[in-house]
Amino acid sequence: MLKHTLIHPEITAILARAGHHSKVLIADGNYPASNTLGPNAQLVSLNLAPGIVTCTQVLEALLTALPIEAANTMGIPADDPYALRGDPPIWAEYRSILSGAGLSIPLQPIPKWDFYDAVASRDHVLTIQTADQRLWANLLLTIGVRQP
């Protein structure tokens, strides 16, 4: 019986095999998850219906099970047709969730096309596709180490 809130069997199995520096993508509902997987990555689709499940719900569950050393968002090109003025509201939610979990790691944007390259790397082990409809909600987590 697991004590943390992450109980999805496939996600738990993938994360149990992952190690330091492995990357986990929490993808929003607009992300092209099936054609951007890294060579060692698996895709788990949690997109039941629009808005169900959200990226923030997945982040909260993952943080109960994993040490995280870095969190990266997809940077927004100024000329992107979906660019917003300033940070997307979900980024503030991510910062709040990370802080609430006792983590003092910054949320660091990676330029959009470099973000896709980071996801395509051999360190990428898992993409969790959500049905989150909020723009720019993709979050790439880097697994840290267990501390004694």
Q: Give all strands (DSSP E) within the chain, no chain letters.
A: 23-27, 42-45, 68-74, 107-110, 124-129, 139-143
141: nearest Cα among 116, 117, 108: 108
Split at pLDDT 50, 70, 90, the class of 105 is very high
Q: What is the mean pLDDT of residues 33-55?
A: 95
The whole-number pLDDT of residue 81 equals 79
Percent composition of the chain: helix, strand, coil (DSSP 3-state, to 5)? 30, 20, 50
pLDDT at 134: 96
pLDDT higher than 70, residue 40? yes
Q: State yes or no: pLDDT of 139 exceeds 90.
A: yes
Q: Are 44 and 10 in contact (CB under 8 A)?
A: yes
Percent of the chain exceeding pLDDT 70 equals 99
Q: CA Rg, the chain, in Å?
A: 14
What's the confidence (pLDDT) of residue 80? 81
Enumerate domains of the chain plus CATH numbers. Answer: 13-143 (3.40.1650.10)
- In the numeric block, which tokens belong to residue 108? 């660091």
Q: Give mean pLDDT, residues 99-125.
A: 96
Under the banding of pLDDT at 50, 70 and 90, the label for residue 1 is low
Token pair 């959500």 is found at 130
